[in-house]
Every structure is written in structure tokens, then in C-alpha cells.
A and B are shown apart, each in its own frame.
Chain A
């Protein structure tokens, strides 16, 4: 765009000058022949603005009076700002590509005055970068007026090494004699913040990746989480792939306990075949159930793609079809031809795309004529086309069946082809998201069945949309998920190891806990039918869940239509899946055998482990010593090594994570010795820190810990210590193993007295977080929960969350007292219906407030 400006300004007549400055018309100035470059300036706030895109110039032309050219930069100028508040004295800050920042000031008394009265501009000072390390791109510089005091001027610069520098520009205009220039006020970088951390931030499988004679563990280069088994699969830079229980390994990294002494804990499996870095992992069964449950696919730097059997740990096949590092593994959409449906799509850095058949164990198509890196892969299943978009904008259309290149186009046609794929794919794959398209198709085909189907789908879409809007508040997936724990790998840089974010779904966790509790007495009567049905504890439970949810539903006298739709739809879906699976199991003997075969790692109780990890991270340790002891000894929770970094998901799907350094205020002089600071950060970190971060974080954390504590309280034997942790309660014993007796013996071990103590422990824990936390922490370190978030959960679909939200809301209303309640009502009054005002004006009781919140909520949901 900037270039176009150049073209336009060039229409103006120009004359050369020795100084290189020519003024042409207001707003447009050129530097002349000796610099031989055309520049464009515009006025913003009466200060010359430099067009950054084409800044090849090292001087600033001031548009204010007197017009003058300011020299001093050694590289192109990237930032220019007016930096004086008064109109008496003008003061320009400019920054250049090299990072050197001359702050020049110009003086002027009045715009209208004669030119000779004016003092020429002077170079005030030059700010230079402290370290001269090579940057790959020019730093970004911005000028701000600080908030702390009036006319507090800050110049902030960020560069590609992750460093942030702040200069405080003095307000005084006296010329400084010293040639050093302005001193940098603060300089910090993410790298420094990470390096300062003790203990070092842990990688998810660091304890398994130690290299002898090295401080750095083996880097994890790719990972995939298999929620059905609770297993995390990590590919490492030495080519090995580790399969490890996710909760166990997270507990090792985050929490203190006896596991710290064990070597090689948690139990894991190593898959070795890649000769170099593993770049991508895919578990196709997770994306689509048409794939075999056993198959895990990995791609590496050694150009190979390998099929693994995760149950037996053996390598099934190795594909060596690509001529470059594998960069991506994808799953073709549902409605491809039968042959393609059992393929996975691999993309390599030699710009080739392969369709690798898992069933035939061969590559059925290799598209390798692309000249530029592959940017996007799209599908036209109806035409049997694979559409490859390259980084230069060209599009290649391949026939999947024959492997022939159908066409290669560029420009506007290429864009159209890609867009056409976008329209076609969602309509075909996910009929819910594009009802209009489908309706049109149904109309053109004049099929009554299709139309009927469409009407049903429309209703479903409506329902899913309703649900999505509700569920996204919680930052969850739009649909109810069966997985209480998700592990997502994130890479910030290609050379960095993967970092892993653990997502806990409190609602799913509660339902799973209750499901297991409900099924517990049944374990005594194991019949063959039950065995079959109960296999695979976490992904099967559909009927239990539906039952539980229905129970929750009927307890409530009043329910919104929204929830009714949801219940109905979810039940439907579960049934379908159930029957489909049943049919499949009957027909496909191989499928059945693969299904009943468990992972031969150590068995453990995924749900309880997840709860243990979650509760241990959330508990505010170090506030009540008696309670801490109860938690450790009786409830089996574990103390974290250091403060756990939490994040928050927003409605729009954005995630914010806390990074090191968030709790150290920048620019504050460091007090005391390093030792003291370190101690402080450790004690502070244990749970306390997170309640002072933000109100939204506090709300989520308190809701989670209270609702979970209440759930655990209602269960029998709900402690994280003991034999029952080793094994899932409803996981069937394999025939011919002596495990059965051991498992059966565990539940009766706990006596009634112990049960009572455990329940008391959970109740104390809930009470502390619900009521006592503000007093214990003090108001500086505690950010109170958000009332509106709690009010929205007042009628949450999960009973336990609902109860927790109600308790918390009442506690918070009590805490803020009359004055706070009045303030809240005043803030919300404009949004409330009129007739309620007359009631509440008399008395601000928590009950009335509750009513108002309900009113608000109903309004919001309608």
C-alpha cells in the first residue's frame, strides 16, 4: 500500500535541492536527488509522520515551524511521535531500525510568528541499545504517556530476541551535557524471567528424558494425547516415542511426593524406530472411529512415516515415500471414497503430499510436483479431488484415485477453487454447520427424505448453537465432552520443545466421579454381559452419563427449554453410538479383539488421578496448617513443587497463560537478598498467588475446588490414598489374571470412622475456600470472585457446579456487605426491569439480590 502512495506523490512536480529537502505541498515532502529516494510524510498531530513501510531514510523532517531536517539516525526511521504535552515546546521522539533512538526536541513559541524568531531544533539525546546483538528484524518502538503520573513519558521498545526496554523520557528540556544520553530505566526479557526460575520449569516427561552428563533433558518435539486411555504420546528429538499416563507424569512434574524417589516413574513405553527427531504424531481413531484403535502414526525428520500398534508397542509398517522431513499428518474427511477413508495424508518439507493407506500398507498417491511449500490442503470428496494450496498462491488439484494432476492454477481462479472447497466441505462433513446449503441441495433434488432430514438438522443446529453460547462461557468445548482432562501441546518456536497445557473439565470430572461411584456396588456381580459393556471405562459410560444427567434434570422442578433440547439430543447421540458400536463388535471380530485388549501399562484410576492432580494444584496451601496436614495425610493430596501456572480461556477461544515474571513488578528496586526473594516466591507460589491474579481466575478456581470437594464428600472412600487408586473400579479384570481378588478386597478396607474423617476433610476444604479465603489472604492478595459469573452459574446444568456457585455467590454477597451490595445493584439497575426497583429500594438483602440475579440471568438466557 505504501508503494502506491509513492506513485501518487510522484505526480507532483519536484525540484532538487542541496539539502535534499523539498517542500511541495502541505503534507507531502520529498527528499531530493542526493538521497535519490522518494519519501512521504504526512501530518499527524502537527508532527511529521514517517511512512514506515518504505523508510530508508535516516532523518526526520519536521512539519511544525520551523521546518527543518533533523539528522542523527544511522538507520531507517521506524517510529516517530510528538512527545510534549505543552504547545509551547515541541519535542519529537524518533526511533530507527538499528534501535538507536535520538530524542530530538524542537522549540517553538507560536506557529504564527515570524521564522527568524524561532530557535532551530536541537538534538536532545540519543538512546542506544545496551547490547549490540544481532536482531533479525527491526525492533518495534512506541511512545507512551505513562499512567503513574502526569506527563510521565515512556519510550518502550520490543525486539525479536524477546527483550523489552523502557526509557523514561525526562520532562525537563535542559540540554544535558553528558554524552552518554539517557539511561535505560528497565530492560527485561522472557528468557531472563525463565532463567531466574527455581526450580526450572518442567517439561511433561523430563524425568524420563534425562541425558547423562547434561543439564538439558531430551526435547519433546511432537505429542498427542489419547483421552480414551489417558495416555500422552511424546515424540522426542532422538527419534524415540514415549507413551506415558498423562496424569501420572503431570503429578511427578508438578507435585511433591514419594514418586520423586522412584526412578523411571511413571511406567511408560518406549517406541524406537525413527532415526532422528519425531516431527508429528497422529492418533487417527480420535479423529474418526473408522480407523483402527490400535494405530498410532508418527512422522520424522528421517523422511519416514511409521504405523505403530500402541497396545503391543510394535512397529506395523514404515513408509519411506517422501523426500523431505514430514511436517504434518492429516485425516481425510468422512465422505471420501472407501479406499481413501483408510488413508492418512502426510505432508513433507520437499513440498510433497502422500496418501498412505493404513489398511493396504502402501502409499496410494504421492503428489510431489509442488514448487513451493504447502500451505493448505483441502478436499473435494464428491469429485475425488485433493486440493493443495501452496505458499506462492498457486493451487494444484489432484485426482485421488488415479494420482493424476488435474490442473494447476494461479491468481483469481486459484482463490476461487480454494473458496469453493470451503463451501463444499462443511456441508458434506458437518451437516450441522451449513443448514442453508443442505436445504438448497435437498430442494434441488426434490427428495422428501432429505427435506425431512434437513428439518431435523435445523432443529439440532438451533440446539447446538444454544448450547454453544452457553458452554463457551465456561471456556469449554461447545459440546459436552467425556474427557475430564485434555493435554494440548503448544510450540512457540520450531526449535523449542513442546510445552503442554492441561485442560480440566470440572463438569466432566464430576460426572465421571459420580458415575464411578454409582457403579461401584455392581462390581461384585460381574456377569459376562456387564464385562462386555463396561470395557473401556472412560469412553463408554454413555448410558450412565445420560442416566445421571436425567436424574439431575428431574430434580429440578423448573427447567428451561434450552436444557431440555440439550438433554434430548445428547441422549440420542449416545444411543446411536452405542448401537453402532454394538453392531460393529458383532460383525468385526478383529475390531472386538482390539477393543477388549487394554494397554499393557500399569493400570490406574484415571478419574481419581485427574481429581488428585487438579485439587492439589488448586488448593491454597500454606494458609491453614491443620487443614494442609489433613489434605496431605487423610485426603492424599500433594503439595506442588512451585507455583503452578494457570491460564484462562475466553469466550472467543483465546487463551491467556501466566508466564514467569507475572508476579514480579517491573521497575521496582529489588529489596533484600536473592535468598529472601526466592523463599518468598516459593511460599507465595503455593496456591496463594493465583487468587490475586484476576477476578475471573479466582471465580473459576473457587468454583472448581468447591464443587469438586462437595462431589468427593458425597462419595464413599473418596481419598487419593490406597489401593483403589491403582485400578479403575469398573475396569474388568483380564481373564486368567489374579488381579481380581486384589481389586475386590480394597473397598471394604476403610472403616466407617475413616469415612467420616475423609468427609470432614473435604467439607473443611470447601468451607475454607468458600468463606475463609478473603480473611486468610487479606484483600491485597485476594481478588474477589465476579458476581456476574457466579450468577450465570446459578442454574448450571451440573448440579454440583450449581450448588458451588450458589454458595459462593451468597458468601460473596455477605462479604461485600450492605455498601457493596448497594453498589452492585446501582451498577446493574439500568439493565433490570422496572417493577423490581420498588422492592429492592427498601432493603438490600442477599435474598433480594439473588432474585435480581436470577432475573438478570433469565433475561440473558432469553
Chain B
């Protein structure tokens, strides 16, 4: 009785290794290829023109910052599509409109004893950038308008990484083709662990944005991406959080060197709060205002769902295998 039970178990394990595992692997490949296509969506088809997606960040009227971002694939992607491909998420042109609403006034009323005078001349000195934006009359609503430089592109590292991890997972799966014979359960577990590691990393890359310190944001290449150049008292950061593309704009206030204010530099964070201080090139700054706008990117949502589904598939296969490994 016990003997026959053992034999059935052995048979079933054999079936699991020979049939079921390959079935799951095929399914996983299909899902991940689909996910990978989502990332490649802006590349477009070979015959048509490159597709572009426009995303409006900050659509409500209450938002003080608005951004129009364009996700664009480009020709370089196609050229490399046979190998490991870098994915480009480019954002040209970007328009960031800051609605400056009486903020200088607010700021000045907050710290009346600070060394900054409330004169228009100071505003001029602080925001002395050229172009159509004039801050001489701070009481009225003003629009600061920036676009991305034509000669540069900005790539979102998070999306690149996620894409690379997915491709790595697909590579691991294709490495074991249908004719490959799995002999032991631990072999399958090992493969699943490797695939799950890549998938978890891909997903984590999208779900956990890097927490940067303010000097890191200030020195990142993104600040040099704009035309007209960003004034020194404005910092911009883009990141992906789950399925959302987020844009944060920090308005800074330069601290006087002899300021009595207790200077304490803040550490890394995804979103810094007003009052955060940092030092950049011997000049100390304090964040006076923070604006955050975001916009849902539908295909990122799809990709996240695909990641989760394939992770579950992997886990289920692992669970099935481990049922047997505990008996033999």
C-alpha cells in the first residue's frame, strides 16, 4: 500500500519535471515577452513613424506645476533589438510651467528678519534668467517656462533597469528549451529562484524609486537638460513610482553664510519636505516650496501586473516541487 503510494508519487514527480515544468516555463516566457513589449511600445512598428505619448502632469487647476512629458522611442532602439537593448525613455520636449503664485510674498512674510530684502531688486538678482519670464512683479501670477534641450535626451534609469531585468529573466527561461530534461527538483528551484530574483528586481525598480539627497539631485544631469537653463534655486526630479510618472520641483532659498539658522543637512529621501537643507558648492540652501505632480502611465501598470502574475507562477511551481522534495 505504502509502496504503491510511493510509486505514484514518483510518477507524478516525473510528470511534473518533464511536462509541467516546461509548460510553466513556456507560459512565463509568453507573459514576460508581453511585458517586454510594453516597454518597447514607444518604439513603434518598423513601417510607421515613431509613436509618441504625451503625458500631462498636473492637470487640475490647483496644481502650481504643470508638465507635459513626451515618451518617445527612437531609432537606436530598433538597431539593437537583436541583442541586449537599452531602452530609451526620452522626454523631449518637456514643458514645465511653474505657476508662481505670490510665493515670494509668502516666503518673505515667513521670515521677516532674514537678511534677504523684500525689494524687487533682490527678486531680480535671485531669478535673473533671461527670456520671457519676468519676476519683477512677484505679486502677480507668473509662468516660468522650460523646455528640454533639443540636443539632449533624458532617460529614466528605472525603466531601463526594469527592462533589462525582464530581458535577463527571458534569457534565463529560453536557456532551457523544450528538449532540456530536468533531472532534479533542486535544478528547477534554482532556475525559478534566478528568474524570480530578476523579476523582483524589475518590479522593485519601479515600485521603489531611489531616495536621493538634495545635492545628488542638484548635481544630476537632469538639471542641465533644460532650456532656458534652470535657475540655481530650482531643482527638478523625475521618477517612477509604481505606475506613475512623478515630477517634483523644489524651490530653494539660499541661506546666508552668517545665518543664525541651525544648519542640518538632510539625508536621502524620495520627496523632500519644505525646510530641508543642503549644501552645494559652499552655498547652503533651504527648500522653501515643494511641488509634486504625477500622471498614470497605463503600460507601466500592465507591466507591473505581468511581473506579479509571472512571479506567482514561479512561486506556484516552486511550491509544487517542494511538496515532493520534502518526501524524498
Residues of A within 8 A of B (CB): 3-4, 6-7, 10-11, 33, 36-38, 54, 56, 134, 136-137, 277, 301, 325, 349, 371-373, 392-393, 410-412, 415
A410 & B207 in contact (Cβ 8 Å cutoff)? yes
* Bound-state Cα–Cα, A301 to B86, Å: 47
**A372-B311, A410-B207 known; 20 other A-B pairs, CB under 8 Å?**
A3-B168, A4-B157, A7-B161, A10-B86, A11-B86, A33-B82, A36-B82, A37-B84, A38-B83, A54-B168, A56-B171, A136-B190, A277-B326, A371-B312, A372-B315, A392-B196, A393-B203, A393-B204, A411-B208, A415-B208
- CB-contacts of B178-197 with A (<8 A): 183-184, 186-187, 190, 196
Q: Which one of A10, A134, A349, A392 contacts B311 once the chains associate, using CB atoms below 8 Å?
A: A392
- Determine if A4 and B200 form an interchain contact, defined as CB atoms under 8 angstroms apart: no
Verify if B80 is at the interface (C-beta below 8 Å from A): yes
Does B253 make an interface contact (CB < 8 A)? no
Q: Assuming A6-B84, A36-B82, A36-B83, is B270 touching A412 (CB within 8 A)? A: yes
Counting chain B CB atoms within 10 Å of each CB, the highest count among A6, A134, A349 belongs to: A6
Q: A3 near B184 (CB under 8 angstroms)? A: no
Least CB separation from A279: chain B residue: B326
How near does chain B come to A157, taking the closest CB pair, in angstroms? Answer: 19
Does any Cβ of A come within 8 Å of B322's Cβ? yes
- Complex Cα distance, B314 from A372, in Å, reads 10
Contact between B241 and A412 (Cβ–Cβ < 8 Å)? yes
CB-defined contacts of B204 to chain A, threshold 8 Å: 393, 411
- Give the residue of A134, A301, A349, A412 whose beta carbon is less than 8 angstroms from that of B183: A134
25 sample A-B contacts, Cβ–Cβ < 8 Å, listed by A number = A3-B161, A3-B164, A4-B160, A4-B164, A6-B84, A6-B86, A6-B164, A7-B164, A10-B84, A33-B83, A36-B83, A54-B168, A136-B184, A136-B187, A325-B326, A371-B312, A392-B200, A392-B311, A392-B315, A410-B242, A411-B204, A411-B208, A411-B241, A411-B242, A412-B270
Q: Cβ of B82: which chain A residues have Cβ within 8 Å of it?
A: 33, 36
Closest 4 CB pairs of A and B: A411-B207, A3-B164, A10-B86, A7-B86
Q: Which of B83, B165, B209 contacts A3 (CB 8 A)?
A: B165
Q: What is the distance, in angstroms, from B184's C-beta to the closest C-beta of chain A? A: 7
The answer to whether B312 touches A4 (Cβ under 8 A) is: no
Residues of B within 8 A of A (CB): 80, 82-87, 157, 160-161, 164-165, 168, 171, 183-184, 186-187, 190, 196, 200, 203-204, 207-209, 241-242, 270, 311-312, 315, 319, 322, 326
* B270, closest chain A residue (CB): A412
Residues of A within 8 A of B242 (CB): 410-411
A390 and chain B: residue at smallest CB distance: B315
Contact at A137–B190, with CB atoms within 8 Å? yes
Q: Which chain B residues lie closer than 8 Å to A38 at the CB level?
A: 83-84
CB distance from B185 to the nearest CB of A (A): 10
Q: Which of B84, B168, B184, B203 contacts A134 (CB 8 A)?
A: B184
Q: Give min CB distance, A472 to chain B, whole Å.
A: 31
Expressed in whole angstroms, the minimum distance between the Cβ of B86 and any Cβ of chain A is 4
Whole-angstrom distance between the alpha carbons of A277 and B311 in the complex? 30
Shortest C-beta distance, A823 to chain B (Å), equals 49
- Count of A-B contacts with CB under 8 A? 73
B322 interface neighbour in A6, A11, A349, Cβ under 8 Å: A349
Q: Please, how many angstroms separate the alpha-carbon atoms of A137 and B187 in the complex?
A: 9
The complex places the Cα of A213 from the Cα of B142 at a distance, in Å, of 92
Q: Say yes or no: A412-B312 contact (C-beta < 8 A), given A6-B84, A7-B86, A10-B86.
A: no
Complex Cα–Cα for A136 and B164 (A): 25
Which residues from chain B contact A33 at a C-beta distance below 8 Å?
82-83
Q: How far is the CB of B81 from chain A (nearest CB, A)?
A: 11
Contacts of A349 in B (CB 8 A): 319, 322
Which chain B residue has the least Cβ–Cβ distance from A372?
B315
In the complex, what distance in Å separates the CA atom of A577 from the CA atom of B186? 50
Complexed CA–CA distance, A270 and B203 (Å) = 49
Q: Which residues of A contact B312 (CB under 8 A)?
A: 371-372
What's the nearest-Cβ distance from chain B to residue A277, in Å?
8
Cβ of A10 to closest chain B Cβ, rounded Å: 4
- Give the residues in chain A near B203, CB-CB below 8 Å: 392-393
**In whole angstroms, what is the CA distance A393 to B270 when docked?**
19
CB neighbours of B209 from chain A (8 A): 412
Residue contact A301 to B326, C-beta cutoff 8 Å:
yes
Tell me the bound Cα distance from A347 to B302 in angstroms: 32
Chain A neighbourhood of B168, CB < 8 A: 3, 54
Closest Cβ of chain B to A493, distance in Å, is 11
Distance in angstroms between the alpha carbons of A411 and B211 in the assembled complex: 13
Tell me, in angstroms, the Cα distance from A415 to B84 when the chains sit together. Answer: 31
Q: What's the least CB distance linking A588 to chain B, in Å?
A: 42
In the complex, the answer to whether A37 meets B83 with C-beta atoms within 8 Å is yes
The reply to whether A412 and B84 form a contact with Cβ atoms under 8 Å apart is no
* A136–B326 CB distance below 8 A: no
Who on chain A is nearest to B86 by CB? A10
Q: Which residues of A contact B87 (CB under 8 A)?
A: 7
A136→B192 CA distance, assembly (Å) = 12
What are the residues of chain B within 8 A of A4 when measuring CB–CB?
A: 157, 160-161, 164
Bound form: Cα–Cα A574–B276 in Å: 49
- Name the distance in Å between A34's Cβ and chain B's nearest Cβ: 11
Bound Cα distance from A392 to B311, whole angstroms: 8
CB distance from B1 to the nearest CB of A (A): 15
Nearest chain A residue, comparing its CB with the CB of B311: A392
**In whole Å, how far is B13's beta carbon from the nearest beta carbon of chain A?**
16
Q: Bound complex: CA of A6 vs CA of B326, how far in Å?
A: 40
Q: Which residue of A lies closest to B87 (CB)?
A: A7
Rounded to whole angstroms, the CA-CA distance of A7 and B87 in the bound complex is 8
A371 CA / B86 CA spacing, docked (Å): 32
B164: A residues at CB distance < 8 A: 3-4, 6-7
Say whether B326 contacts A412, CB under 8 Å.
no
- With a cutoff of 8 Å between Cβ atoms, the chain B residues found around residue A10 in the complex are 80, 84-86
Q: Are A412 and B207 in contact (CB under 8 A)?
A: yes
Contact (Cβ within 8 A) B208 A412? yes
Q: Return the chain B residue nearest A325 by Cβ.
A: B326
Q: Which of B83, B87, B204, B319 has the most CB of A within 10 A?
A: B83
Contact status B86-A136, CB under 8 Å: no
A residues less than 8 Å from B311 (CB atoms): 372, 392
- State the CA gap A36–B160 with chains docked (Å): 19
Residues of chain B with a CB closer than 8 A to A134's CB: 183-184, 187
Give Cα A137–Cα B194 distance, bound, in whole angstroms: 11
Residues of A within 8 A of B157 (CB): 4, 7
* Bound: A33/B207 CA distance, A: 34
Which of chain A's residues have a CB closer than 8 A to the CB of B171?
56
Query: Please, how many angstroms separate the alpha-carbon atoms of A349 and B318 in the complex?
Result: 11
Contact check, B86 vs A373: say whether CB atoms are below 8 A apart.
no
What is the bound-complex CA distance between A277 and B326, given in angstroms? 10
* Distance between Cα atoms of A533 and B49 in the complex (Å): 91
Closest chain-B Cβ to A792's Cβ sits at a distance in Å of: 39
Name which residue of chain B comes closest to A38, CB basis. B84
In this complex, what residue of B is CB-closest to A13?
B76
Tell me the smallest distance from the CB of B230 to a CB of chain A, in Å. Answer: 24
Nearest-CB distance from B35 to chain A (Å)? Answer: 16
CA distance A4 to B311 in the complex (A): 22
Q: How far is the CA of A301 from the CA of B322 in the complex (A)?
A: 12
B207 contacts across to A, CB distance below 8 A: 393, 410-412
Give the Cβ gap from B187 to chain A, nearest Cβ, in Å.
6
Q: Please give the distance in Å from B75's CB to the nearest CB on chain A.
A: 13
Closest chain A residue, CB of each to CB of B83? A36
Shortest Cβ distance from B88 into chain A, in angstroms?
10
In the bound complex, residues from chain A placing their C-beta under 8 Å from that of B80 are 10
| Nearest Cβ on chain B to A280's Cβ, whole angstroms | 14
Note all chain B residues with C-beta closer than 8 A to A371: 312, 315
Nearest Cβ distance between residue B273 and chain A, in whole angstroms?
Answer: 15
Q: Closest residue to A495 on the B side, CB-wise? A: B325
A393 proximity list for chain B (CB < 8 A): 200, 203-204, 207
Give the distance to chain A from B188, nearest Cβ to Cβ, in Å: 10
Most buried by B among A7, A36, A54, A301: A7
> Would B160 and A7 count as touching, CB distance under 8 A?
yes
Closest B residue by C-beta to A410? B207
Contact residues in A for B315 (Cβ distance below 8 Å): 371-373, 392
